[in-house]
Amino acid sequence: MRRSRKAVLLALLVPLPSAFGWGEPHEAITKAALDVLPVWQQDLLGRERGPLATDYCLIPDHVFSNKANARFAAMESKPGEVYIQSLHLPSAQQPDNLETFRYFSGRAVAALQKGKTGDAARYMGTICHVIEDFGSPSHTIPGDNQFTLLQQFLPPSEAMKDKLLHGPIEDGTLDVRISGYHPQLLGITVEEAAWRLLHRVHEGIINARGTTIPIIQALYAQDEKGVVTNQLKAATKDAQVVADALYTILCLGTKKLEPGEQTSLKTVAIGAFFPLEAASLYYPQTQFFSAPYWGFPHSGVILKEGKKAVPLKLNVDEKSGGLIEQFGNGISVGMGKPLSFLLPKGVYTKFTAIAGLHAELGAKGRVEFILRGDGKPLASAIVDGTGPAHIFECDIRDVSLLQLAAESRGKDPQSNYAIWADPVLAKEP
């Protein structure tokens, strides 16, 4: 029978499975995550546990062929969109991705609280798919999903010439195992959990980016073992993040929260978090600064003359030349390039940090450190390179966007080695 023109057009509009998903690895990753959930959660899922690993985690890919489940991959903020691309490819902007995690986590939790385990499992399947796709080696380069640009930098072998790389990079049969991994509670509310999940997923994206070129090189060399080794590196991290998400949703949906886990969530260090200025998790050249060197912010280190990474050190004593302390949690910044951090609503009440100039590199500098909340000043302090760092402690209970800034104030700009050390968000005691 000849296909109608309408049917042909519809077939062209439906994305191929290899275009936007891991395919079979989705199942392996989801199953690995489910296997490390505590027994009570596996019992709670019951008969939904199997299809969550084999079917529900593929719902966003099957919205045209499985219309009964398509509603579990739909969003009220995107009316009329059946195939939502943001469930497969991370947006360059954090608020968009946060909305996705908040929406589907909230739906899953609400369904569990109503005793609708089947609906909850389907929403959880969509969450699994999003996490796994964002952490897939084939989804790591913004705007180059089929790697046609990358192949201009990495010319293909004769065997791979003219072939789209998306499918080969992620397809395959993977044996994913994370036995011994203990899932983490990401929050005691959906708002907090979605925000923490966003930053866990960032870890997965960066991890996957480190596997993409090795996989391509292995494909060019017809090195199947090399392909699988690097795919597993990405899939293993994905499975851990998925386990955290599922564990948290099931805890919130049943209101089973261990006191010790809640205590561990009282504070969060944000020194390694990506600010909004790092769109797609990297700093565009518009965010580079010129003093004290040409570069961009760094987490955990500062670059001497822009060339050598050295530890973050501040003078924390009231007396000049006093006690010097080294920090692991912190950010080295340049002048005039603020860093903005999205905060979950109504979760944290206090922000603390120690701001100053590097104890060895910044002696001749003078910088004003400025803290803003939702665009309004919260606190500021001018610090000389020979003086002690300033301790910030600010109320942020109504703040949704926290901004850290540093401005040169009149001495040697090449000595303005500025540091925001130990930036921490805290809840009320």
Which regions of the chain carry the CATH code 1.10.575? 5-265
For residues 277 and 287, the answer to whether their CB atoms sit within 8 Å is yes
Residue 322 clears pLDDT 90, i.e. is over it: no
Which residues contact residue 248 at a Cβ distance below 8 angstroms, ignoring those fewer than 6 apart?
105, 183, 184, 185, 186, 187, 193, 197
Mean pLDDT of 113-122: 98
Q: Which pLDDT score is estimated for 429?
A: 81
Largest pairwise CA distance in the chain? 89
Mean pLDDT of 73-99: 97
Q: Which pLDDT score is estimated for 317?
A: 84
Mean pLDDT of 79-90: 96
Cα separation, 302 vs 310, in Å, equals 5
Angle at 31 between CA 30 and CA 34, to 5 degrees: 90
Per-residue burial over 282-305, b = 16 or more CB atoms within 10 Å of its CB, e = otherwise: ebeeebebebbbebbbeeeebbee
Q: Which pLDDT score is estimated for 15?
A: 39
User: Residue 411 — pLDDT band, cuts 50, 70, 90?
Assistant: confident
pLDDT tens digits, one per residue of 307-317 = 999 999 999 98
Terminal CA-CA length for the chain = 71
Integer angstrom CA distances of residue 195 from 51, 65, 325, 400: 27, 32, 31, 12
Q: Which of 327, 76, 341 is nearest to 202 (CA)?
A: 341
Q: Which helix (H) or strand (E) holds 229?
A: helix 224-254
For residues 60 and 73, the answer to whether their CB atoms sit within 8 Å is yes
Which regions of the chain carry the CATH code 2.60.120.1060? 279-426
Position with higher pLDDT, 321 vs 92? 92
Mean pLDDT of 137-158: 94
For residues 343 and 374, the answer to whether their CB atoms sit within 8 Å is no
Q: Which pLDDT score is estimated for 22?
A: 62
Residue 291 clears pLDDT 80, i.e. is over it: yes
Phi, psi of 115 (to 5 degrees): 80, 15
Question: What's the gap between Cα 63 and its chain centre?
Answer: 25
Beta-bridged to residue 395, according to DSSP, are 350
> Is CATH 1.10.575 the right assignment for the domain spanning 5-265?
yes
Mean pLDDT across the chain: 93
Q: Which pLDDT score is estimated for 20?
A: 41
Per-residue burial over 53-78, b = 16 or more CB atoms within 10 Å of its CB, e = otherwise: bebbbbbbbbbeeeeebbebbbbeee
Q: Which pLDDT score is estimated for 24?
A: 80
Residue 428 clears pLDDT 50, i.e. is over it: yes
Q: Which pLDDT score is estimated for 319?
A: 56
Residue 8 clears pLDDT 60, i.e. is over it: no
Q: Which pLDDT score is estimated for 2?
A: 36
Q: Which helix (H) or strand (E) holds 201?
A: helix 190-220
Cα separation, 240 vs 253, in Å, equals 20
Neighbours of 81 (CB within 10 A): 14
Mean pLDDT of 107-115: 98
Judged by DSSP in three states, 371 sits in strand
Tokens 């690993």 correspond to 53
Q: Which of 118, 84, 117 is nearest to 103 (CA)?
A: 84
Class of domain 279-426: mainly beta
Mean pLDDT of 79-93: 96
pLDDT tens digits, one per residue of 9-62 = 333 333 333 334 566 899 999 999 999 999 999 999 999 999 999 999 999 999
Q: Which pLDDT score is estimated for 118?
A: 98
pTM (2 decimals)? 0.93
Cα separation, 271 vs 315, in Å, equals 19
Cα separation, 112 vs 99, in Å, equals 20
Q: Which pLDDT score is estimated for 241?
A: 98
Residue 80 clears pLDDT 60, i.e. is over it: yes
The percent of residues in the chain predicted with pLDDT above 70, rounded, is 93
Q: Which pLDDT score is estimated for 321?
A: 55
User: Residue 83 — pLDDT band, cuts 50, 70, 90?
Assistant: very high
The percent of residues in the chain predicted with pLDDT above 90, rounded, is 90
Task: Report residue 41 as tokens.
Answer: 């959660």
pLDDT tens digits, one per residue of 95-105 = 999 999 999 99
Beta-bridged to residue 404, according to DSSP, are 339, 371
Cα separation, 118 vs 292, in Å, equals 57
User: Residue 177 — pLDDT band, cuts 50, 70, 90?
Assistant: very high
Integer angstrom CA distances of residue 42 from 121, 255, 343: 11, 16, 32
Could you tell me if residue 261 is left (phi over 0), alpha (psi between -120 and 50 degrees) or otherwise beta? alpha
Mean pLDDT of 115-140: 97
Phi, psi of 391 (to 5 degrees): -95, 120
